[in-house]
Every structure is written in C-alpha cells, then in structure tokens.
Chain A
Amino acid sequence: MKVSLNWLRQYAAVDAPAGEVTRAVTFLGFEVEGVESTGAPRLEHVVVGEVLARDKHPNADKLSVCNVDIGPAGGVRRIVCGAQNYKVGDRVPVALPGAVLPGDFRIKQSKIRGESSDGMMCSAKELGMGSDHAGLLILPGRPALGAPINSVLPEGDTVLDIEVTPNRPDCLSHLGMARELAAWFRKDLVYPQEKFRGEVDSARADLFAGVSVENPEDCPLYSAHVVAGVKVGPSPAWMQERLRAVGLRPINNVVDVGNYVMLEFGQPLHAFDAAKIGGRRLVVRRARDGEKMTTLDGKERTLAGRMLVIADEARALVVAGVMGGENSGVDDSTTSVVIESAIFRPASVRWTSRTLGLSSDSSYRFERGVDPHMSLEAARRAVDLIVETAGGQPVGPVCVVGREAPWKREITVSAAFVGERLGFQIPAPEMRAALESLELNVAREEDGHAGPVWTVAIPSWRDDLDRPIDLVEEILRVHGTDKIPPARVLCAGLTAEDDPPVSFNRAAVSYLVGHDFHECVNLTLRPGPEITTWVSQAAAAELALANPFVEDQSHLRPTLVMGLLDTLLLNQSRGVPAHRLCEAGRVFLEHLGQNYEAASVAFVAAEGGGRSWRRREPADFFLAKHHAGAIASIAGVDLSAEKLEPVAGPGFGWQPGHSVTAGSVERGWVARFGLVNLAMLRSRGIEGTVLAGYFSILPERIPAARSRPRPRELNAFPPALRDIAVIVDKAAPAGEVRAHLAAFAASAAQGAFAAESVELFDTYEGKGLPEGRKSLAFSLVFRSPSRTLTDEEVGAAFQRIQDEVGRNPAYQVRK
C-alpha cells in the first residue's frame, strides 16, 4: 500500500525525516518496497529573487553575470549563471551562501572564471524536485522577493510503498499506519473530526427506499447513507493531490471521497447514483448463474451463482466488494448519492476476485478483513466529506442491515511473562507505555508476584491479538528488535542422531564424488511423455499432478537418470565434456496402484567425446555394477547376494541384454544398472553410449544403527591354493557356477579345514573348446585356523571337488 507522509501527518505529528520514518516502518514489521519523494525538500537560505540585469561573462561564452534582487533584507547580489532559459525580470529560486542543496551541495561565495558570485540561481533538479535540469526554475505568479522558497513551492511529500502482512489489515489505511508511527515516535494520534452523527432531519423515500440482504452469511453488515442535492464536480485540490500521491486518479468529488475514506480508514466504500437504482431499493443477493454485468473497467463479466452482487430490482449493479458496474456510478448529472459501507466475508470476496480474475483496492482489503466496528464511522466520515466537497445534505433513511455484537476483548499478561519469553528485561513502565502507544490500553494493573499484571483492552481493529504471546510481540516491536541483546548459544547434549536417509545420502554422494563423479541437481517434476520411457503407462498415470503449472513439469520423476541425461545433453550442446555425473534425491515408485516415495542415488558414465594422449580401458557394465553395489552396501543391502534379472520390456529406458534389476518395492529397495537404451539416447541426441545405475530405497527401510561387524579371528597359517577350470555352456551364468563350486568346496574338507574363498579369475572360449562352450577358471583358497595344511589333505579335498564337478552333466573339468 502506498502511504503519503503528508497525508499521514494529518493524524500524527511525525516530523522525522523520510529516511527515519522508513526505518521505523521497517522495524515495526512492514517491508518498505519503495520510497518516492516529490516536491521540494525543506531548504534553508533559498529565497525568491528577480533578475535585474544579465550581462555576458567577460571570460566565458556560456556564462552570464547577473544582478539579482532578493528583497529588502538581502539586497541585490551579483551571481554568475550558466543557464540560458531566463530573461531580465524573471523571478527564480536563489540559493544564498550557507544553503545546502540536496546531494549535500553547499553554496558559498566563490569566483567563477574571475568573476565573484554571491550564490546560485537554481533549476528544479538542483532543488531536489524531479529531474528537470533544462534551465532555471522560473517561478510563476511573481512571488514576493526574499520569500523562503518553501513558502512558494508546492509542499514536498514522501510516499512509501509498504507491504502490509496479512495479519494487519488495519494498516491498509493511513490512520492505521499513523497509529503505528505515532507509537514508534511517541506522538499522539488525532482522529478526523466527525460532524455527521448519523441523524437526519427527513427521510426521502422518493430518493431511496432501503436495503435487503439475502445472504447475511456473506454480508454480515450493510449500511446505506443518502446525501441529497450534491453537485458533482472536481474534488478540491488537496484531496486530488493526496489521491495522486498514492497513485489514484481523481474522478469527481463523490468518487474521490469514497477512495479517500477507504485510504483513510481502510473501509472500502461504494457510491451509487440514487436515480440509477431501479425500484429505489438495493438487494444484496447471489448472482444468477451466467448473469452478465459490465464492470467499471469496461469489461463484460459473466457471473457465477456463488458470487455476491448488489443489485436493484432488475440487475446487478456491483460485484460485492470487488468492483462497481458501469451503469450505476456517479456522474456529472448525479444529484443524490447512496453511500454503501459494508462488510463482506473474506473468502467469498477472494473466490469471486480470483474466479473473475479481477482484483481491486476494495477486494484486496475485504480479502484480508475489514473491521466491522469501524464501518459506520467510515460511512459518516464519507458523508461529512461529500457535504464538504459536493454540497447537499444527509437525508433518510439511514439503512443498517445486520449488526456486529459489541466488541470487547481483554488479554491478561504479566511483565514477568514478557521477560521470560524475550529472554531479557524491559522495565515494566516501558512495556506498559509501549502497549498504550498502540492504543492497547491497560484496563487494570495488578501486582503479581514478579511485577505487574496487566489486563489489556484490545481495540476492534486488532482482531489479530488474542493471547498473551501476541502482546509480547507488540511490546518488542515498539521497543525495537534492534535492542535484543547479544548472547551465546547454550546447548545441552542430546543423544539423537541424524535421520538414516540423511546419512545414507551423504555417504553415497561422497562415495561417488570420491570416484570422480560430479554431483548434479535436477528438477523433480518431469514431462508426462518422458515418464513412459521409464515406467508403464499405468505407473505414469499415478505419478501425475492434479494441477501442473507448466506442461513439461507434470509428473513426479521415477528415476534420477532422466535428469542426468538432461545434464549430459546440456553440456554436450555447450561443448563441455561431461563423463561422470551423479545425483541424490527423491524419486517416486509406483507399485500396485500406490506410489512410494524413495531416497535414490544415481549415476551416469558417458563415453563422451574427449580425446586423450593415453587411452584408458573404457567403462563397461561392470563399472556400473561395482558402483551400484557400493551404494547399496551403504544402505545395508548386499547386492552380491542378489539375483540380477534382466530389465524387462521395450521402452523402459534400458538396453536389453546389457542392464539388470534387483530388489522390489515390496522389499523396500530397487537397484538397476547397465547401459541406457541406445535408441532412446539417439532419439534425444545424446552421443555415444551411457552407463547408468541407481539404487532407490524407501527412507524407512534404511537401517538406523548398523550392527557393528564382529570380525572373525585371523591366523598366520599359510593358505593352500588350487585352480580349477570348468567347461560349461556358453549361456551359463558364471555366478551360478561359482555358487555350485563354493558349495562343493565348503563340504570337500569334511570339516577339517575351510575353503576360504572361491573366486573366478578367467573366462575363455574359442580354440580348444567345443562349439557353444566356455571355460571358467576359479582360484580356490584353503586354510586351517590351527595348522599348516599338508599337500595330501588339500589334494584329497581338491579331488573331491573335481569329482563333484564331474558328476554334474552340465560341467566338465578342464584338464
């Protein structure tokens, strides 16, 4: 809201400079979004002078030397001047030595190119009035010589653009802001004098018959006052000036009064031309569905049945609380006006305003709440001002439909409570003064065991205050938040730990960054069609938002790989090599029609186009397997023990035969890794192959405290090594063969010692092997915890293993 300080000073003598007022407003809890000053600031030693003579400067082409008369007290001064727009006889502002112009420009006696100059004739800009620097400010109307310049120039004003928080609708008015500033600067608040008290001499039913309210739930209070015999014309200059200062265009005296009182009291008003109210009665009713009305802005609106309107017998005249209609307003021919001052339910006005896409100063205030107890006062103030500016006289009937219960609210608060909540002491008298400066008057003061206890009467416009803690804030606001004394943080130790997902995320990203991945962040919301590249249509449907803001951000992401591919593409398009990227964040998994939010960590490793003087082994599937396994282990999942299934189905983002999946939503985690679908990469314009992997886990499944490992005892006895090569079908998974072999090895020593490990170290196919077969070579390590093994016993065990292998028809020991 725009607040004119000149206007505000009508109610409180806040004489501090604009900068200090701005600071006060800020610390009272209102953001100042803009400060604009107009007119001349207060200037000393700047007076009216008349140019008596103008001669060319002897040493400079563009300068003149003038004799300037500044009246009987100052005499005639010689002044050097560079402007060109004036002539002898003009009266202009003259800054005398000792004057300080805006920008800290100090005027003193000086010599300019050898000619002495006893002051300066000023342009509007030099006086701090706008930007006109074209020449001297020629003063119209031949003001008295020597008169102080401020008595001649229009009064300066500063307008603050203030953002009022939603809890303070009372401050959407000059009186409201004046009350705040009066408290800060400890000034009195002066209300406008009220002349009209609501009594009228006669009722003029011929002009206006009355009001009926059909929907009191949306309009708890409606008042109409009639002023007859008005003469519509321009409003007085002072009113126009104030309205313009806060950005309103003056219309005519009646409309301007409505706006003026709204900005003064915060109560939106509406003025009807009584002659345009068909049937001379106003009805507050719901709009008929599809009812049409042209609002003041010239647009035809189609109304909905939930909207409230003010209507006459035939048609809607006003969208209640939002905007008037084109055809019922006050114009030059109006002679009698009906002034509406009403209260409309905030939610109703908000809905109407949003639905119509139409907001106004009025709807803005109603949405935030208008004080019903000030409504009639505002109406009477408007009557006063209409009579003052447009003539006429108030007549009956005075219609008031609905009444608010009398306002009374008290809060009891003790000085001790305030001190406890603040954590520092403010003297009790100062606390009380702070409250009362905001018209939060202490009705009773009692002695509590630790200082006074106050019962505070809350005024009707402070509906936001209803608990003791609310008054703590009021006291602190007026005391000044800049006076909160410094302190140190005191903390007692708690045994709590970071939540498991936090630790998992941190450890997993640290792991990947340690392996040369760059961590990225991408948006959670993705375009719908892209989702179906990764999950089924049905799953994608479950991930859709009800109200996306833009089309390409309509669905929750099911995998982080999508965003990482975006990142690859962006860098590629910018010519920046990008190879290894990772991301941690939330993903959303669909399972049997339900969504699950999961913590996920993903990585991509792209071939990329970078050249190098030395070639490295290119990354392959097993790099993805390695990292996916490492991340899973951080979450307590041992991927090496898991069955890896091929990623099924075409169009699921992954390259068939080169990608696998493990886990499930039911088990609480899903791991997936391998090559990203090449056709999909190509269609997106990503060059080369991309390996990717992710591990997603439901946050509640991440173990809180991992059980500490109990390492088995180590011994120094030497291992016995044996190698075995097994010829198997080409398609046989190595992991399966290893598992069989490990099982044979576990029993081979018959409990006398252990087969410590069985590891695959070579694979071979080709020459020397039958078609369709391959050889897998394993290294077996035997060790006893208590002695050195003999060749014989190891040999016997190894033989048993070979025999076992030989018994399986699918296997053949390679000699």
Chain B
Amino acid sequence: MQEQLSSLLAKAAAEFQGTRSRPDHEAAKARYVGPNGEFTALMRQMGSVPKEQRPAMGRLVNEAKERLGELIDAALRSVEEAELAARLGPPIDPTLPSPDAGPGTFHPLTLVREEVCRILRKVGFTVADGPEVETEFYCFDALNTPHDHPARDAQDTFYFPQSAGFANVSRRVPGEKYLLRTHTSSVQVRTMLKGPPPIRIVSPGRVYRRDTTDASHSANFNQVECLCVDRSVTVRDLKALLDYLFESLLGPGTKTRFRPHYFGYTEPSFEVDLSAKHLPKVNKEWIEIGGCGIVDPEVFRAVGYDPEVWTGYAFGMGIERLAMTLYGIDDIRVFYQNDLRLLRQFTGGILG
C-alpha cells in the first residue's frame, strides 16, 4: 500500500503540473479525489488493512492526502495565474498617448478674474453679482453721472426699446429705460441699496460699450471692481489695498502709482499705473491699469447712506487688459476666439 501511495503521488504530481485550464484541473482533481478517483479507491481499501497496521497506515494515508491537497491547490494557483496573465495581455507600452481628450482648461479671463477675487477674498471682500441689463438709475444716476454726460448717449451705450421689459431686473424709477451696463459699478449701487455698511465687495462681470472692435476694444469686455464702505476709510487705505493686490498678482517689488484723475463717482479720483517692466511685451516703465478713488458723497446720498458717517473707496479695472498684461497678449479679440491652441496653454490653471 505504501508503494501504491507513493506511486500515486508521483503520478499526480506529474499530471497536475500539466494542467493549464480550469476544466483540465477539475478533470484531474476528479481522477484522484472524485467519487471514482484513484485516491478515493485507495482510501476505501483502508478497511481491509489489518488492525495492528492501521495506525501506521492511517498516518501514511493522511500524509498522502495532505500532499495531494497541496498539489491540487498549487496547480489551481498556477491555473489562476495563467488566466489572469491571459486577461491582462502583454505589458503595456506606457509611452502610447491617452486616447482621451483633455484635460479641460479654464479660460484665461476666468483665471485672472478668479485670481483677483481670491486675493481680495483674503482681505475680507466677498464677490457680488448683478444683472448685465441695467437701468439708467443704477448705471448712471446713482453714480453721480450728469444728465447730459456723453456716456449716457445712445452713441456710446446700448439701449433697449422703451417697450422692452426685463422682469427680473428691478427698476428704480418707473418706466426708466433698460440698457447694457457700461461698468460693474451698478453692482455696487445694488449692493449698497440692499443693506447698511460695512461693505467690502468685489464685483467682476461683463460690461458693454458701443465701440468699434479692434485690437484693444471688444464689443463686450469684463471689469472687476471693488468697493469698501466703512467708517474712516482713507486715501492711504486705498493705496494700501492696491499695493497689496498688485504685489500679490505680480510678485514682490511691484509698484503702483496714483495719478489724479476725474470720475463722477469718486472724489478724489485717481488712475492707477503699474510698474511692470518684468512682464512680457511691456516696454514702458508704467502702464495704466485702472481707476479708483474715494466714493463721492453724492453716491452715498443716492443710496441713502449718510456721507457724514460713512466713507469708502472704489477701484476698477479691465480684466482683459490685466490678462493681456499678465500673459503678454496684444490683441483683445484673441480672448473671444477660443482657439484651442491658446486655451490648451492654460492647462493646469486652477481657481484656487
């Protein structure tokens, strides 16, 4: 019997080594340990073994059984491995390109807008939104624009017919005409009318001027403005904010300067220049980047704030112009063409 066992094991070892598939393996397994298997048959012979030999034989049979089990398991593992290898196929060529298009990209104007908003959010500004269709009150009257100011003229501003209604853009003066806002300052007016100071908002958005399209003018463009209203807001605070903003945008050592200017909604008013010689395609020492000033008392009166109590500053600039400066792009129309060769260069841009 001992010989029978060892020859059976040797035969099994050879046979299991040859199994390559699950059916092969199952068949081989059945040949040994199935109901009609050879090992099963041997086990049945145990009954005929003399009683005194049974303990020794029993041990031998158990050992053989264990060995057989190992053979079966090992064979199964190798079959499984072979199956897995077949499913995976040969090793990949990692240098093949991904067939999936992408990654997606944010538009450069979005990246610049969000960067400005992120910088200002850090110093307590939140982003305010308002309609692009506006009324004369919010766009002009409340901002101390004289009634005969050229900006109001149909030559410079897009108007809608008297009959046009915009149900979710509220009018202040019954029957006043709708227009496309010429600046995002109208958002400041709407925000101030919503509640009392203190206010710190940044309002980015699309604005419209009735102008010829060329390398530096687009039928619509984007502005970002900020407004701070509180007690004792000063010219120095305004300068500090702009120094902070542009140093954040352009790196340490960036300088700004104020040139006195005139806007109806601020007094004093300034134009802001940026020293940016390190930027691409900038060959001037100073480039004009925006306008700002201390909020004119008339604006506060128009929204019902007491100008004796509240003071504020406002700042605004064009996002396209800033983006052109930052990226060295010299034609504004490029932004509105969306040539993917341009957009893909902004891969990896995040809104932060």
When C-beta atoms are compared, the residue in chain B nearest to A517 turns out to be B104
Q: Which of B107, B124, B257 contacts A519 (CB 8 A)?
A: B107
Q: Is the CB of B220 within 8 A of A525?
A: yes
Q: Which residues of B contact A31 (CB under 8 A)?
A: 259, 271
Interface 9-mer from A154-162, A207-215, A441-449, A567-575: A567-575
Give the shortest distance, in Å, between A420 (CB) and chain B (any CB).
7
Instruction: Say yes or no: is A430 at the interface (Cβ < 8 Å to chain B).
Output: no
Known: A595-B166, A595-B167. A516 touches B104 (CB 8 A): yes
Q: Is the CB of B166 within 8 A of A549?
A: no
Q: Which of B109, B126, B201, B240 contacts A486 (CB 8 A)?
A: B240
Q: Is the CB of B110 within 8 A of A519?
A: yes
Known: A518-B343, A610-B101. A510 touches B159 (CB 8 A): no
When C-beta atoms are compared, the residue in chain A nearest to B129 turns out to be A499
Q: Which residues of B contact A579 (CB under 8 A)?
A: 101
Instruction: Say yes or no: is A700 at the interface (Cβ < 8 Å to chain B).
Output: yes
Interface 9-mer from A238-246, A292-300, A489-497: A489-497
Q: Which residues of B contact A514 (CB under 8 A)?
A: 104
Q: Is the CB of A494 within 8 A of B99?
A: no
Known: A491-B124, A522-B336, A698-B168. A586 touches B132 (CB 8 A): yes
Instruction: Say yes or no: is B65 at the interface (Cβ < 8 Å to chain A).
Output: no
Instruction: Say yes or no: is B57 at the interface (Cβ < 8 Å to chain A).
Output: no
Known: A350-B148, A519-B110, A597-B133. A420 touches B104 (CB 8 A): no
| 0 or 1 for each of B36-57: is its CB under 8 Å from A? (1 = yes) | 0000000000000000000000
Instruction: Say yes or no: is A708 at the interface (Cβ < 8 Å to chain B).
Output: no
Instruction: Say yes or no: is A749 at the interface (Cβ < 8 Å to chain B).
Output: no
Q: Which residues of A contact B110 (CB under 8 A)?
A: 509, 519, 521
Residue with the highest number of chain B CB atoms closer than 10 Å, among A166, A473, A610: A473
Instruction: Say yes or no: is A515 at the interface (Cβ < 8 Å to chain B).
Output: yes
Instruction: Say yes or no: is A643 at the interface (Cβ < 8 Å to chain B).
Output: no
Known: A488-B240, A597-B131. A570 touches B267 (CB 8 A): no
A525 CA to B166 CA, complexed, in Å: 16
| 0 or 1 for each of B162-195: is its CB under 8 Å from A? (1 = yes) | 0011111100000000001000000000000000
Instruction: Say yes or no: is A165 at the interface (Cβ < 8 Å to chain B).
Output: yes
Q: Is the CB of B200 within 8 A of A423?
A: no
A284 CA to B206 CA, complexed, in Å: 46
Known: A520-B338, A570-B338. A594 touches B237 (CB 8 A): no
Q: Is the CB of B220 within 8 A of A699?
A: no
A556 CA to B208 CA, complexed, in Å: 12
Give the shortest distance, in Å, between B345 (CB) and chain A (any CB).
11
Q: Is the CB of B126 within 8 A of A595?
A: no
Inter-chain residue pair count (beta carbon < 8 A): 255
Interface 9-mer from B7-15, B27-35, B228-236: B228-236
Q: Is the CB of B160 within 8 A of A546?
A: yes
| 0 or 1 for each of B336-352: is its CB under 8 Å from A? (1 = yes) | 11111101100000010
Instruction: Say yes or no: is A796 at the interface (Cβ < 8 Å to chain B).
Output: no
Q: Is the CB of B259 within 8 A of A548?
A: no
Q: Which residues of B contact A467 (CB under 8 A)?
A: 267, 297
Instruction: Say yes or no: is B262 at the interface (Cβ < 8 Å to chain A).
Output: yes
A567 CA to B210 CA, complexed, in Å: 23
Known: A545-B159, A593-B165. A484 touches B133 (CB 8 A): no
Q: Is the CB of A487 within 8 A of B236?
A: yes
Q: Is the CB of B127 within 8 A of A577?
A: no
A494 CA to B202 CA, complexed, in Å: 14
A500 CA to B100 CA, complexed, in Å: 33
Of residues 401 to 420 in A, which have CB atoms within 8 Å of B's CB atoms?
420
Q: Is the CB of B100 within 8 A of A616?
A: yes
Q: Which residues of B contact A492 (CB under 8 A)?
A: 124, 198
Instruction: Say yes or no: is B261 at the interface (Cβ < 8 Å to chain A).
Output: yes
Q: Is the CB of A545 within 8 A of B158?
A: yes
Instruction: Say yes or no: is B216 at the interface (Cβ < 8 Å to chain A).
Output: no
Instruction: Say yes or no: is B270 at the interface (Cβ < 8 Å to chain A).
Output: yes
Known: A422-B234, A571-B339. A521 touches B105 (CB 8 A): no
A502 CA to B184 CA, complexed, in Å: 14
Give the shortest distance, in Å, between B208 (CB) and chain A (any CB).
7
Instruction: Say yes or no: is B310 at the interface (Cβ < 8 Å to chain A).
Output: no
Q: Which residues of A contact B106 (CB under 8 A)?
A: 509, 513, 519
Instruction: Say yes or no: is A685 at the interface (Cβ < 8 Å to chain B).
Output: no
Give the shortest distance, in Å, between A494 (CB) and chain B (any CB).
6
A485 CA to B337 CA, complexed, in Å: 43
| Total contacting residues, chain B, CB less than 8 A | 86
Of residues 524 to 579 in A, which have CB atoms within 8 Å of B's CB atoms?
524-525, 542, 544-550, 553, 556, 567, 570-571, 574, 576-579
A553 CA to B336 CA, complexed, in Å: 14
Give the shortest distance, in Å, between B311 (CB) and chain A (any CB).
7
Of residues 450 to 506 in A, which have CB atoms within 8 Å of B's CB atoms?
467, 469-470, 472-473, 476-477, 481-482, 484-494, 496-502, 506
Instruction: Say yes or no: is B62 at the interface (Cβ < 8 Å to chain A).
Output: no
When C-beta atoms are compared, the residue in chain A nearest to B159 turns out to be A546
A739 CA to B343 CA, complexed, in Å: 44
When C-beta atoms are compared, the residue in chain B nearest to A367 turns out to be B150
A556 CA to B180 CA, complexed, in Å: 10
The size class of the interface chain A forms with chain B is 35 or more
Known: A421-B294, A596-B168. A616 touches B99 (CB 8 A): yes
A524 CA to B209 CA, complexed, in Å: 12
A492 CA to B125 CA, complexed, in Å: 10
Q: Is the CB of A494 within 8 A of B198?
A: yes
Q: Is the CB of B267 within 8 A of A477?
A: no
Instruction: Say yes or no: is B196 at the interface (Cβ < 8 Å to chain A).
Output: no
Q: Is the CB of A481 within 8 A of B257?
A: yes
Instruction: Say yes or no: is A128 at the interface (Cβ < 8 Å to chain B).
Output: no
Of residues 249 to 281 in B, which have CB atoms within 8 Å of A's CB atoms?
257-262, 267-271
Q: Is the CB of B234 within 8 A of A615?
A: no
A500 CA to B104 CA, complexed, in Å: 24
Q: Which residues of A contact B127 (CB under 8 A)?
A: 498-499, 502
When C-beta atoms are compared, the residue in chain A nearest to B295 turns out to be A469
When C-beta atoms are compared, the residue in chain B nearest to A470 turns out to be B267
Q: Which residues of A contact B206 (CB under 8 A)?
A: 524, 585-586
Q: Is the CB of A613 within 8 A of B164?
A: no
Interface 9-mer from A22-30, A644-652, A767-775: A22-30
Instruction: Say yes or no: is A168 at the interface (Cβ < 8 Å to chain B).
Output: yes
A596 CA to B99 CA, complexed, in Å: 42
Q: Which of B105, B219, B257 contacts A513 (CB 8 A)?
A: B105
Give the shortest distance, in Å, between A752 (CB) and chain B (any CB).
42
A484 CA to B293 CA, complexed, in Å: 13
Q: Which of B109, B198, B240 contacts A487 (CB 8 A)?
A: B240
Q: Which residues of A contact B309 (CB under 8 A)?
A: none
When C-beta atoms are compared, the residue in chain A nearest to B213 turns out to be A550
Q: Which residues of B contact A612 (CB under 8 A)?
A: 99
When C-beta atoms are compared, the residue in chain B nearest to A594 turns out to be B167
Instruction: Say yes or no: is A250 at the interface (Cβ < 8 Å to chain B).
Output: no
Q: Is the CB of B132 within 8 A of A524?
A: yes
A359 CA to B237 CA, complexed, in Å: 42
Q: Which of A420, A516, A550, A570 contacts B103 (CB 8 A)?
A: A516
Q: Is the CB of A574 within 8 A of B339?
A: yes
When C-beta atoms are compared, the residue in chain A nearest to B121 turns out to be A498
Q: Which residues of B contact A525 (CB under 8 A)?
A: 158, 208, 219-220
Instruction: Say yes or no: is A219 at the interface (Cβ < 8 Å to chain B).
Output: no
Q: Is the CB of A29 within 8 A of B235?
A: no
Residue with the highest number of chain A CB atoms closer than 10 Å, among B107, B128, B132: B107
Q: Which residues of B contact A502 (CB under 8 A)?
A: 127-129
Q: Is the CB of A165 within 8 A of B261?
A: yes
Q: Which residues of A contact B148 (CB under 8 A)?
A: 346-347, 350
Shortest Cβ-Cβ A-B pairs, 4 listed: A423-B234, A423-B236, A516-B102, A29-B260
Q: List 10 A-B contacts (CB under 8 A).
A: A472-B268, A481-B258, A486-B240, A506-B114, A518-B104, A519-B106, A520-B338, A580-B104, A586-B131, A597-B166
**Given known contacts A487-B239, A521-B335, A577-B340, what 7 new A-B pairs fall within 8 Å (CB)?**
A470-B267, A496-B126, A513-B105, A519-B104, A525-B220, A595-B167, A597-B168
